[in-house]
């Protein structure tokens, strides 16, 4: 079995065996009920999958491109070991409200910047990234640029996750990606979800 397939199988097994692993950790923050209900309702399958993937991988350094409301970042953060960090980047034109209750968590870095700009990565100062989640604009051109800039930042054995691999011309990028990779099909997100082990 390839490494991407093995990691995927382990994450899926964790998700099935511990479907609510994230809940007690979420409750450990002072949350109001409305927030909890919103998160539970919007907790997409791929959020829970990312949570399980972090539980399985126990990464030290996580980088997410594309924060939006912060849902995926929240679910990854809730599984992140102490001492690890999760940096999530967006253009900064939207408030990531899902991250409000966890903003003081020392493991979390919420950053503004353009994922296509090399200066962004110089400022972030990240290296040896163990888990990279690519989830910005879903076009092949943008992913090619992000891949060019992020590939040198990856640790040996890093895992890269891509949302929406069926959208727009993203299949062109996905098919050209020369890594051990797995198209998880529509099981996690109707628009496609890919996992690659480098």
Measured from the CB of residue 117, what is the shortest distance to ligand SAM in angstroms?
8
Positive or negative, the CA dihedral 186, 192, 130, 48 is negative
Binding mask 7-46 for ligand SAM (x = CB under 6 A): ----------------------------------------
Least CB distance to ligand SAM at residue 115 (A): 4
109 makes contact with ligand SAM (CB under 6 A): no
x-marked contacts with ligand SAM along 56-85 as a string, rule CB under 6 A? ---------xx-xx-xx-------------
Listing DSSP states for 29-62 in one string gives S---HHHHHHHHHH--HHHHHHHHHHHHH--SEE
Stretch that binds ligand SAM, among 32-40, 77-85, 88-96, 121-129 (CB under 6 A): 88-96
Residue 192 in contact with ligand SAM, rule: CB under 6 A: no
CB neighbour list of residue 50: distance below 8 Å, 6 or more residues apart: 72, 75, 76, 133, 161
Residue 86's Cβ-side half-sphere holds a number of Cα atoms within 13 Å equal to 29
Rule CB under 6 A: say whether 89 interacts with ligand SAM. Answer: yes
The pair phi, psi for residue 87, each rounded to 5°, is: -105, 125
Q: Which of residues 111-140 bind ligand SAM (CB under 6 A)?
A: 114-116, 135-137
Identity of the residue, 144 or 180, whose beta carbon is nearer to ligand SAM in the bound complex: 144
The answer to whether the beta carbons of residues 64 and 99 sit under 8 Å apart is: no
Residue tagged 């290296």 (tokens): 127
Q: Which residues bind ligand SAM (CB under 6 A)?
A: 65-66, 68-69, 71-72, 89-91, 93-94, 114-116, 135-137
């Amino acid at each position: 079995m390839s490494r991407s397939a093995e990691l995927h199988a382990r994450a899926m097994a964790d998700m099935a065996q511990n479907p609510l692993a994230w809940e007690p950790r979420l409750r450990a923050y002072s949350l109001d009920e409305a927030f909890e209900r919103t998160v539970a309702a919007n907790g997409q399958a791929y959020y829970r999958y990312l949570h399980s993937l972090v539980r399985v991988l126990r990464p030290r350094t996580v980088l997410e491109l594309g924060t939006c409301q912060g849902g995926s970042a929240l679910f990854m953060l809730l599984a992140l070991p102490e001492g690890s960090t999760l940096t999530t980047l967006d253009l900064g034109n939207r408030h990531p409200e899902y991250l409000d209750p966890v903003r003081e968590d020392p493991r979390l870095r919420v950053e503004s910047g353009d994922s296509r700009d090399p200066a962004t990565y110089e400022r972030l100062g990240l290296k040896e990234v163990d888990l990279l989640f690519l989830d910005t604009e879903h076009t092949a051109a943008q992913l090619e640029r992000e891949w060019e800039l992020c590939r040198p930042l990856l640790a040996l054995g890093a895992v890269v996750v891509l949302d929406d691999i069926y959208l727009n011309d993203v299949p062109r990028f996905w098919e050209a990606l020369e890594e051990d990779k797995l198209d998880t099909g529509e099981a996690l997100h109707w628009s496609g979800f890919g996992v690659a082990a480098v």
